[in-house]
A and B are shown apart, each in its own frame.
Chain A
Amino acid sequence: MEFTLLIVIIPLFVFLFLALAGHKLKPGIAGITGTAGMAIAAALSYAAAYIYFFDTAKIDGVYQKITPVSVEWLRFTEKLHIDLGVLLDPISIMMLVVITTVSLMVHLYSIGYMHGEKGFQRYYAFLSLFSFSMLGLVIATNIFQMYIFWELVGVSSYLLIGFYYTKASAVAASKKAFIVTRFADLGFLAGILILSFYTGTFDFDLLTADKGSLVISSTAGASFIGLSAATWAMALIFMGGAGKSAMFPLHIWLPDAMEGPTPVSALIHAATMVVAGVYMVARLFPVYAFATPEVLTMIAYIGAFTALFAAIIAVTQTDIKRVLAFSTISQIAYMMVALGVSGFGGHDGLGYMSSMFHLFTHAFFKALLFLGAGAVIHAVHSNEMGDMGGLRKYMPVTNITFLIACLAISGIPVFSGFFSKDEILVAAAHHDTLLYVALWAVAGLTAFYMFRLYFNIFWGKEREYHHKPHEAPRIMLFPLLFLAVLSCVTGLVPFSDFVSSDGKPFDTHLNWSIAAQGVSVALLGIAFAMVLYRKESDKPARIAAGLGILYTAAVKKFYLDEIWMFITQKVIFKCISAPIAWFDRHVVDRTMNLTGQATEKLAWLIRDFQSGKVQSYAWMFIIGALLITVWAICM
Chain B
Amino acid sequence: MIPMEHYLIVSMVMFFAGIYGFIARKNLLAILISLELILNSVEINFSVFNRYLYPEHLEGMFFSLFGIAVSAAETAVAIAIIINIYRIRQDIDVRHIDKMKN
B23, A618: Cβ atoms under 8 Å?
yes
Q: A619-B23, A622-B19, A622-B23 are in contact. Are A614 and B94 (CB under 8 A)?
A: yes
Which chain B residues in 12-29 approach chain A with CB under 8 Å? 19, 22-23
Kindly list chain A residues whose C-beta atoms are within 8 Å of the C-beta of B69. none
Count CB-based A-B contacts (< 8 Å).
Answer: 19
Chain A positions 589 through 617: 1 when the CB is less than 8 Å from some CB of chain B, otherwise 0: 00000000000000000000001111100
B residues in contact with A614, CB < 8 Å: 94, 97-98
Minimum distance in angstroms from B78 CB to a CB of chain A:
12
Binary B-proximity of A251-285 (CB < 8 A = 1, otherwise 0): 00000000000000000000000000000000000
| Docked complex Cα distance between A613 and B98 (Å) | 5
Contact between B99 and A612 (Cβ–Cβ < 8 Å)? yes
**Residues in A neighbouring B19, C-beta threshold 8 A:** 622
The digit string for A172-206, where 1 denotes a CB below 8 A from any CB of B, is 00000000000000000000000000000000000
Give every chain A residue within 8 A of B23 (Cβ-Cβ): 615, 618-619, 622
Q: Which residues of chain A have C-beta atoms less than 8 A from B22's C-beta?
A: 615, 618
Number of B residues near A (Cβ < 8 Å) is: 9
Q: B98: which A residues are within 8 A, CB to CB?
A: 611-614
How many whole Å from B28's CB to the nearest CB in chain A?
A: 9
Interface centre among B19, B22, B97 (most CB of A within 10 A): B22
Q: Find chain B residues with CB under 8 A from A612 CB.
A: 98-100
Query: Does B95 reach chain A (CB closer than 8 Å)?
Result: yes
Q: Which of A615, A618, A619, A622 has the most chain B CB atoms inside 10 A of its CB? A: A615
Counting chain A CB atoms within 10 Å of each CB, the highest count among B23, B94, B100 belongs to: B23
B70-102 interface with A by 8 A CB criterion: 94-95, 97-100
Per-position contact with B for A198-221: 1 when CB-CB < 8 Å, else 0? 000000000000000000000000
Least CB distance from B64 to A in Å reads 22
How far is it, in angstroms, between the C-alpha of A615 and the C-alpha of B95 when the chains are bound? 8
* Chain A proximity of B31: nearest CB distance (Å): 8
Chain A nearest Cβ from B23, distance in angstroms: 6
CB of A621, distance to nearest CB on chain B (Å)? 10
- A613 and B99 contact, CB distance less than 8 A: no
Chain B proximity of A618: nearest CB distance (Å): 6
Q: Closest Cβ of chain B: how far from A617's Cβ, in Å?
A: 10
Within 8 A of B (CB), among A384-415: none
In the assembly, what is the distance between CA of A622 and CA of B15, in Å?
Answer: 12
CA distance A614 to B35 in the complex (A): 14
A residues less than 8 Å from B97 (CB atoms): 614
Q: Nearest chain-A residue to B24 (Cβ)? A: A615
Instruction: Give the residues in chain B near A622, CB-CB below 8 Å.
Output: 19, 23
Distance in Å: Cβ of A615 to nearest Cβ of chain B = 6
Expressed in whole angstroms, the Cα–Cα distance for A555 and B19 within the complex equals: 97
| B94–A615 touching, CB < 8 Å | yes
Q: How far is the CB of B33 from chain A (nearest CB, A)?
A: 15
Bound Cα distance A386, B22 (Å): 99
Which chain B residues lie closer than 8 Å to A613 at the CB level? 94-95, 98
- B25 CB to nearest A CB, Å: 9
The distance in angstroms between the C-alpha atoms of A622 and B97, with both chains bound, is 20
**How long is the Cα–Cα vector from A611 to B97 in the complex, in angstroms?**
11
A612, A614, A619 pick with most chain B CB within 10 angstroms: A614
Bound complex: CA A273 to CA B38 (Å): 88
Q: How far is the CB of B58 from chain A (nearest CB, A)?
A: 29
CA distance A618 to B95 in the complex (A): 13
Assembly CA distance A112 to B98 (angstroms): 76
**Most B C-beta atoms less than 10 A away, residue of A611, A618, A619:** A618
Complex: chain A residue closest to B19, CB-CB: A622
The docked-state distance in angstroms from the alpha carbon of A619 to that of B94 is 14
Smallest CB separation, A616 vs chain B (Å): 9
Chain A nearest CB from B101 CB (Å) reads: 11
Query: Roughly how many angstroms separate A480 CA and B35 CA in the complex, as a whole number?
Result: 99
Min Cβ gap A511→B in Å is: 95
Interface residues in A619-635 by Cβ distance below 8 A to B read: 619, 622
Distance in angstroms between the alpha carbons of A611 and B96 in the assembled complex: 12
Highest count of chain A CB atoms <10 Å: which of B19, B98, B99: B98
Could you tell me the distance in whole angstroms from the C-beta of B59 to the nearest C-beta in chain A?
Answer: 24
A614 vs B82: C-alpha distance in the bound complex, in angstroms? 14
Residues of B within 8 A of A619 (CB): 23
Give CA–CA (A622, B23) in the complex, Å: 10
**B8 CB to nearest A CB, Å:** 16
Chain A residues in 8 Å Cβ range of B95: 613, 615
Q: Which A positions have Cβ atoms within 8 angstroms of B?
A: 611-615, 618-619, 622
What are 19 A-B contacts defined by CB distance under 8 Å? A611-B98, A612-B98, A612-B99, A612-B100, A613-B94, A613-B95, A613-B98, A614-B94, A614-B97, A614-B98, A615-B22, A615-B23, A615-B94, A615-B95, A618-B22, A618-B23, A619-B23, A622-B19, A622-B23
Would you list the 4 A-B pairs with minimal beta carbon distance, nearest first?
A612-B98, A613-B98, A618-B23, A615-B23
A-B contacts besides A613-B98, A615-B95, A622-B23, 7 pairs, CB < 8 Å: A612-B100, A613-B94, A613-B95, A614-B98, A615-B23, A618-B22, A618-B23
